[in-house]
Amino acid sequence: RFKAVIFDLDGVITDTAHYHYLAWKELAESQGVHFDHEFNERLKGIDRMGSLDLILASAARQRQYTPEEKLALADTKNKHYQELISTMSSKDLLPGAVEALDTVRRAGLRIGLASVSKNAFTVLERLGITDKFDYVVDAATIARGKPDPEIFLKAARELGVAPADCLGVEDAVAGVTAIKAAGMFALGIGHPFVLTEADVVITSLKEFNLAAY
């Protein structure tokens, strides 16, 4: 019944959350902000500057950061993150990811990627799956990050498919909200208690069953 499947990347196809965690933790602590896994959860699906704003909002000394300072901090985090992902390879694909992509391909549906990460192209290359996608949204062209539907709507438009004919796959609360706001069917990867807005929630792409949605 669907004509396209639009995947998120981080936490769905590969687990980069740990690398984001390490890079944000070092950055946060350099600013006197306590950073743990719980905080990291809140950053899932949130773009780089949005994540930095959340971290700085809880800076011990509530001081103002200039736009230039913020850009420098975001850049420091990103350089560290890029160092961490430079050794990624196909072994970093989450279980079931390639099988899910191949199932969608065999079913004759279009495949899109909607990640707000400006490192998405690099990660796809390192994973060796770039050519499995018909269209990958360039995060640099997106004005409003998730939970805004912009990125999913752009993917659908570029794939030439109406939003109502798209299945979106997401692990983040903000991402599921974005899919629903785009008028698509939302498949959540994670826990139903967390991804309450999703139409269906599975634990990982190992359970992906296109015919069931």
Q: Which of 14, 31, 119, 177 binds ligand G6P (CB under 6 A)?
A: 119
Pairing of strands 110-113, 185-189: unpaired
8 counts as catalytic = yes
**CA end-to-end span of the chain:** 8
Minimum CB–partner distance for residue 46 and ligand G6P (Å): 6
Q: How many residues lie near ligand G6P (CB under 6 A)? A: 16
Q: Judged by CB, which is closer to ligand G6P: 2, or 7?
A: 7
Minimum CB–partner distance for residue 44 and Mg ion (Å): 6
Pairing of strands 200-202, 185-189: parallel
97: number of CA atoms within 13 Å, CB side?
23
47 binds, among Mg ion, ligand G6P, none (CB under 5 to 8 A by kind): ligand G6P
20 binds ligand G6P (CB under 6 A): yes
Q: Position of tokens 């769905």?
A: 12
177 binds ligand G6P (CB under 6 A): no
DSSP class of 10: B
Minimum CB–partner distance for residue 138 and Mg ion (Å): 17
47 binds ligand G6P (CB under 6 A): yes
Q: Judged by CB, which is closer to ligand G6P: 54, or 210?
A: 54
| Rounded Cα–Cα distance for residues 99 and 166 (Å) | 19
10 binds ligand G6P (CB under 6 A): yes
Catalytic residue among 8, 134, 138, 171: 8
Ordered alpha helix ranges (H), the chain: 17-30, 37-43, 48-57, 67-85, 97-106, 120-127, 150-159, 173-181
10 counts as catalytic = yes
For 145, counting Cβ atoms within 10 Å of its Cβ (0-12 exposed, 13-18 middle, 19+ buried), the class is buried
Residues within the interface to ligand G6P (CB under 6 A) = 10, 20, 43-48, 51, 78, 115-119, 139
Active site residues: 8, 10
